[in-house]
Amino acid sequence: MNADKRRQIFERLQAANPHPTTELEYTTPFELLIAVILSAQATDVSVNKATRKLYPIANTPATIYALGVDGLIPYIQTIGLYKTKAKNVIETCRLLLEQHNGQVPREREALQALPGVGRKTANVVLNTAFGVPAMAVDTHIFRVSNRTGVAPGKNVDIVEQKLMKFVPSEFLMDAHHWLILHGRYTCLARTPQCWNCVILDLCEFHKKTPAPSKAV
């Protein structure tokens, strides 16, 4: 895929959604960090349901740490892997209090040193909370990048590197959100809704596979 076609793709995604953002609900960088930790192998909807109950009670490192693992579990037990996540969240709160004065660090290495925070989670926080151009490659972005031909790669690291290289600079801040939302609602894993796609004629997948007709 050439640079002009990539630019057209992001121009169209921008026109369709000028101000994209995460579907996780948060009001502070810390709330976002915890929500992203909880969202691993879980839906944003399920995380939001849990944090709507948790955050009015505890939404700072100190108040969540005070709950302890046993006190946190009742708020998040509807989310997958909740026991492991509870331990990670409590330990993260402890480290934020002891090493970062209760603040979420803005450095990737410091973020990834927190329990339950991998590169993808760190990228979400850096991009969404702190306005750093970063690409958090989840299953949706990986699928869309490969299927459309925007940034094909055999693993998430390669796709991330290519996206950071190929996405025009003026779109880097929002590209992560556009690609996730496109994969979540249009470019579905099993039945992509090509009939409802704003970049259909630019997509490499569409060239290889006839688009299905719109369901009546």
Q: Where in the chain are the domains?
A: 3-20+135-208, 29-130
Distance CA 182, CA 19 (A): 14
Say whether 85 is catalytic: no
Query: What number is the average pLDDT over the span 79-83?
Result: 95
Name the amino acid, one letter, at 69.
V
Residue-wise pLDDT tens digits, 104-138 = 999 999 999 999 999 999 999 999 999 999 999 99
Q: Which of 87, 82, 86, 80 is nearest to 43 (CA)?
A: 80
Query: What number is the average pLDDT over the span 170-181?
Result: 95
Pick the catalytic residue: 4, 87, 120, 201?
A: 120
Say whether 138 is catalytic: yes
The domains spanning 3-20+135-208 and 29-130 adopt the same CATH topology = no
- The CATH homologous superfamily for domain 29-130 is Hypothetical protein; domain 2 (1.10.340.30)
Residue-wise pLDDT tens digits, 34-59 = 999 999 989 999 999 999 999 999 99
Question: What angle do helix axes 44-54 and 61-76 make, rounded to 10 degrees?
Answer: 120
With b meaning 16 or more CB within 10 Å and e meaning fewer, what string describes 113-132? ebbbbebbbbbbbbbbbeee
Provide the pLDDT for residue 205.
87
Is CATH 1.10.1670.10 correct for 3-20+135-208? yes
Pick the catalytic residue: 5, 138, 157, 201?
A: 138
Torsion, Cα of 157, 161, 163, 165 (10° steps): 180
Distance CA 55, CA 77 (A): 15
pLDDT at 210 over 90: no
Reported confidence tier of residue 211, pLDDT bands at 50, 70, 90: very low
Residue-wise pLDDT tens digits, 150-170 = 999 999 999 999 999 999 999
Residue-wise pLDDT tens digits, 98-109 = 999 999 999 999
